[in-house]
C-alpha cells in the first residue's frame, strides 16, 4: 500500500500542474475572447475587401463611398467601442499579475522571486551555491519498494528515485517567470501609451501622421479636432487593414466633409486640437 500511496501522491502533483496550465491558458485567452465578442466583426465588415486594392474602379469607388458614409454618419459614436478594447488590455495586465500571485501561492511562496533566485545561483561561487530549482522541483527522492524475497515474504526496500519530469518542469517555470515579467512590463507600457493617446490629441495627430504618411497633416488635424478618440482609434485600425492609397482617399474625403460642416465640431480648445 505504501508504494501505491507514494505513486498516488506523485501523480496528484503532476495532475495539479496540468490543471494549472489549462486554467492559465483559459485566463490568458479571456481578454481576446471578450474583445472578439465586443468587436463583433466591425473591422472586417468595414474593410469590404479594400485590403486587396485590386478591383474595378467602379467597385472601388462604391466601397469607398460606403465606408465614408458610415464614418460620417457614425462620427463621435465609437468611444465606448474603443474603451472596450482598452478594458481588455487592462484585463491582460491584471491577468498576468494575478497569475504571478497564483503560481506563487501554488509553490508555497517560492515563485515570486524564482527567476531572481536562479540568477543569484548562477552568479554565486561554487561552494556557496544553493540551487532554488532543486528546492522547488527535487530531482531525486526517497522511494519505498515492496517485493517478494527469497523466502516468499514481502520485503521492504528503500531506494533513491530519479524524477526526470521535474527537470523539464523547472525549465518551463524559469521561462514562465521571465515571460511573465516581460509581459507585465510590456502591457504596463501599452496602458501608459493608451492613457497618453486618450489625454493628448496632439499625440494622436503625431501617431497617425507617423503611421500613415500618405495622408496630409491638415486632414489628420481636422479629423482629430472634430471627432472623438474612438473615431481616431477606428480609423487607425482601418488604416492597418486597408490598402494605403484607398485609406488615404477615405481619410482626406472625410476631412473635406468635416471642413465643410461645422456642426460636427466637438467643443474644445483649438490649440489643443480636440478633447477626447
- For residue 167, being part of any structural domain is answered with no
- For residue 228, being part of any structural domain is answered with yes
- For residue 205, being part of any structural domain is answered with yes
Q: In this predicted structure, what is the pLDDT of residue 167?
A: 80
Q: In this predicted structure, what is the pLDDT of residue 13?
A: 62
Q: Which residue has the cell 501561492?
A: 105
What's this model's pTM, rounded to 2 decimal places? Answer: 0.78
- For residue 131, being part of any structural domain is answered with no
Q: Parallel, antiparallel, or unpaired for β 140-148 and 154-162?
A: antiparallel
- For residue 77, being part of any structural domain is answered with yes
Give residues with Cβ within 8 angstroms of 186, minimum separation 6.
none
Rg (CA), the chain: 29
The conformation of residue 266, written as its DSSP 8-state character, comes to P
Over pLDDT 90: what percentage of the chain? 50
Domain count, the chain: 1
Mean pLDDT is lowest, of 4-13, 90-99, 141-150, for 4-13
Predicted confidence (pLDDT) at residue 18 exceeds the cutoff of 60: yes
- For residue 198, being part of any structural domain is answered with yes
Predicted confidence (pLDDT) at residue 218 exceeds the cutoff of 90: yes
SS3 of the chain: the string is: CHHHHHHHHHHHHHHHHHHHHHHHHHHHHHHHHHHHHHHCCHHHHHHCCCCCCCCCHHHHHHHHHHHHHHHHHCCCCCHHHHHHHHHHHHHHHHHHHHHHHHHHHHCCCCCCCHHHHHHHHHHCCHHHCCCHHHHHCCCEEEEEEEEECCCCCEEEEEEEEECHHHHHHHHHHHHHHHHHHHHHHHHHHHHHHHHHHHHCHHHHHHHHHHHCCCCCHHHHHHHHHCCCHHHHHHHHHHHCCCCHHHHHHHHHHHHHHHHHCHHHCCCCCHHHCCCC
Q: Which H or E element spans position 94?
A: helix 79-106
CA distance 140 to 26: 32
- For residue 62, being part of any structural domain is answered with yes
Domain of residue 104 covers 14-126+174-262
Q: Kindly state the average pLDDT of the residues 181-207.
A: 95
Mean pLDDT is lowest, of 25-39, 43-57, 93-107, 202-216, for 43-57
Q: In this predicted structure, what is the pLDDT of residue 239?
A: 93
Predicted confidence (pLDDT) at residue 263 exceeds the cutoff of 70: no
Segment 227-249, tens digit of pLDDT: 999 999 999 999 999 988 899 99
- For residue 82, being part of any structural domain is answered with yes
Segment 113-130, tens digit of pLDDT: 888 888 887 777 776 677
Amino acid at each position: 500500500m505504501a508504494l501505491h500511496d507514494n505513486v498516488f501522491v506523485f501523480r496528484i502533483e503532476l495532475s495539479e500542474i496540468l490543471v494549472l496550465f489549462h486554467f492559465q491558458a483559459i485566463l490568458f485567452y479571456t481578454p481576446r475572447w471578450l474583445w472578439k465578442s465586443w468587436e463583433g466583426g466591425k473591422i472586417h465588415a468595414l474593410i469590404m475587401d479594400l485590403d486587396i486594392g485590386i478591383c474595378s474602379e467602379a467597385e472601388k469607388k462604391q466601397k469607398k463611398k460606403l465606408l465614408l458614409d458610415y464614418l460620417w454618419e457614425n462620427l463621435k459614436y465609437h468611444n465606448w467601442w474603443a474603451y472596450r478594447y482598452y478594458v481588455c488590455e487592462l484585463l491582460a495586465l491584471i491577468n498576468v499579475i494575478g497569475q504571478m500571485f497564483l503560481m506563487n501561492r501554488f509553490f508555497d511562496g517560492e515563485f515570486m522571486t524564482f527567476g531572481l533566485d536562479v540568477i543569484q545561483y548562477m552568479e554565486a561561487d561554487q561552494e556557496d551555491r544553493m540551487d532554488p530549482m532543486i528546492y522547488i522541483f527535487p530531482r531525486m527522492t526517497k522511494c519505498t519498494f515492496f517485493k517478494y524475497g527469497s523466502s516468499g515474504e514481502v520485503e521492504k526496500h528503500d531506494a533513491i528515485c530519479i524524477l526526470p519530469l521535474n527537470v523539464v518542469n523547472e525549465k518551463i517555470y524559469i521561462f514562465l517567470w521571465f515571460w511573465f515579467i516581460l509581459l507585465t512590463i510590456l502591457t504596463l507600457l501599452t496602458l501608459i501609451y493608451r492613457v497618453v493617446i486618450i489625454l493628448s490629441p496632439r499625440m494622436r495627430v503625431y501617431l497617425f501622421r507617423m503611421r500613415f504618411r500618405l495622408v496630409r497633416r491638415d486632414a489628420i488635424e481636422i479629423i482629430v479636432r472634430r471627432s472623438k478618440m474612438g473615431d481616431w482609434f477606428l480609423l487607425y485600425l482601418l488604416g492597418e487593414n486597408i490598402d494605403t492609397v484607398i485609406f488615404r482617399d477615405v481619410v482626406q474625403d472625410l476631412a473635406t466633409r468635416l471642413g465643410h460642416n461645422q456642426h460636427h465640431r466637438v467643443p474644445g480648445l483649438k490649440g489643443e486640437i480636440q478633447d477626447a
